[in-house]
Amino acid sequence: METPQQMKAAVQRCIAAHKDELHALSRDIWSRPELGGSETRAHDTLVGFFSRDEAWTVQAHYVLPTAFRASWGPEGGGDGGPALNVGFLCEYDALPGIGHACGHNLIAEVGAAAALGLKAALEMRTEPRFPVKITVLGTPAEEVIGGKIDLILAGAFADFDLVFMAHPAQHDASFLPCITVDEVLVKYHGKAAHASAYPWEGVNALDAAVLAYNNLSALRQQLRPEWRLHGIIKHGGEQPNIIPAYTQLEFYLRTPQVKDLCVLKAKAEACFRAAAVATGCRVEIIYPGHCYYNILPNATLAKLYENNGKALGIQFQEQSANFSGSTDFGNVSFIVPGIHPFFYISTEAFNHTEEYAEAAGAEKAQLFTLRTATALAMTAVDVVCCPDLLRQVREDFRLAKLKQEKPLKDGDTALTAP
């Protein structure tokens, strides 16, 4: 019977053998950046990549127009039960104006490479303890609408047992505390009037917007230091001699854990409504998209990933407690045990810059990208080969969810929400 080490060696051989194809896949996506929801060419490229091997069952346009699903392995076990389904996620949307400045082309490459590596390891088993299925899920529009959340709502993750993906960053880390974020649009409706001839006839929606902005600025000093709210006035009026009848603000609200977001939302909404009362305007408070949850950590998967990564030469830095990015993978982590490590790509540039976009398409990023994919696949090998590890992963998941159940009380903050 093959040992985990033999299977991990198969992972390494497979990914090394396909490195040119994987680089070409990544470069193709990188060279033709597409915004979230419009990743038609990236979708077709990835569907074509998996469709070349008849062993994969590929579903194009899966649930969403630019999502896909590629599966390998049995649907059920010998006793009629389901196979253990190991998922790898691909992202491939770009940013407006600066292309793949968040390196999502490399996320797609990591997902594809890790899936190929695990498949090679599983194919060498002669006496499997239990059947294992691999599913690659293409998840569009992470930057704008949270495609993973739409897929969750459609049941796309219902049969997943484990889920893996990795994101390029400034250094290697098995976990960084991505936080909760929700977007709010605030619209004030007043009444137009000539600003010089008869201003008393108007109801000034710009005054409401400015008061709301200032209310939130005052609120910040009473918030917990790790909470964030930030935004802009998107529309402030038409021209100076018309009392603005309509204004609009857009704000992001962030807390380290989703359980605390309701407290921050209540405080922010009080600020928005107070501005409306003060000016006589009518206010609309709209949450137009999905709330991105914080990522739940999984200590067992993180430790396994670090061990495998170190064996491949990855040098992990001490985890930061102050990382404040957000991702829709957080929502996935609440329903399926998973891991979302970050990896260095040979640049000191920061994500969402032109310099990072250039680095994401460079040849020198390949060593780090494929090394990360190999470590992910090797971590999956550890879990599928050891039922005790699988049980511990599931227990970590259960305990992490329990910690999310009790939100902060208003009295726990310096300012009580009305």
pLDDT band of 368, cuts 50, 70, 90? very high
pLDDT of residue 412: 35
Q: What is the 3-state secondary structure (H, E, C) of 137-195?
A: EECCCCCCCCHHHHHHHCCCCCCCCEEECCEEECCEECCCCCCEEEEEEEEEECECCEC
Question: What topology is assigned to 4-178+295-385 in CATH?
Answer: Aminopeptidase (3.40.630)
**What pTM did the predictor assign?**
0.91
Which residues make beta-bridge pairs with 87? 135, 163
pLDDT of 263 over the 50 cut: yes
pLDDT of residue 413: 33
* Percent of the chain whose pLDDT exceeds 70: 93
Residues 287-308 pLDDT 10s: 999 999 999 999 999 999 999 9
Which residues make beta-bridge pairs with 33? none
Q: What is the 3-state secondary structure (H, E, C) of 115-127?
A: HHHHHHHHHCCCC
Residues 266-284 pLDDT 10s: 999 999 999 999 999 999 9
Query: If DSSP codes are grouped into helix, strand and coil, which group holds residue 130?
Result: coil
| d(C-alpha 32, C-alpha 108), whole Å | 14
* Percent of the chain whose pLDDT exceeds 90: 89
pLDDT of 414 over the 60 cut: no
pLDDT of 417 over the 80 cut: no
Closest CA to 377 of 311, 308, 302, 295: 308
pLDDT of residue 321: 59
- What does the pLDDT average to over 69-78? 78
10 Å CB burial of residue 135 (0-12, 13-18, 19+) is buried
User: And the tokens for 203?
Assistant: 């109801």
pLDDT of 17 over the 90 cut: yes
Annotate 307-316 with b (16+ C-beta within 10 A) or e (fewer).
ebbeeeebeb
pLDDT of 149 over the 60 cut: yes
Q: Are strands 180-189 and 246-255 parallel, antiparallel or unpaired?
A: antiparallel
Residues 214-236 pLDDT 10s: 999 999 999 999 999 999 999 99
Alpha-carbon distances, residue 235 vs 167, 238, 325 (angstroms): 34, 9, 26
Q: Which residue did the predictor score with more confidence, 134 or 403? A: 134
- What does the pLDDT average to over 134-163? 97
pLDDT of residue 130: 77
| d(C-alpha 92, C-alpha 1), whole Å | 38
The domains of the chain are located at: 4-178+295-385, 180-291
| d(C-alpha 139, C-alpha 45), whole Å | 14
DSSP state of 320: P
pLDDT of 399 over the 80 cut: yes
- What does the pLDDT average to over 74-88? 73
pLDDT of 410 over the 50 cut: no
- In CATH, what number does 180-291 get? 3.30.70.360
Phi, psi of 282 (to 5 degrees): -95, 140
pLDDT of residue 35: 97
Residues 98-135 pLDDT 10s: 999 999 999 999 999 999 999 999 998 877 677 999 99
pLDDT band of 323, cuts 50, 70, 90? low
Q: Average model confidence (pLDDT) for the chain? A: 93
pLDDT of residue 322: 64
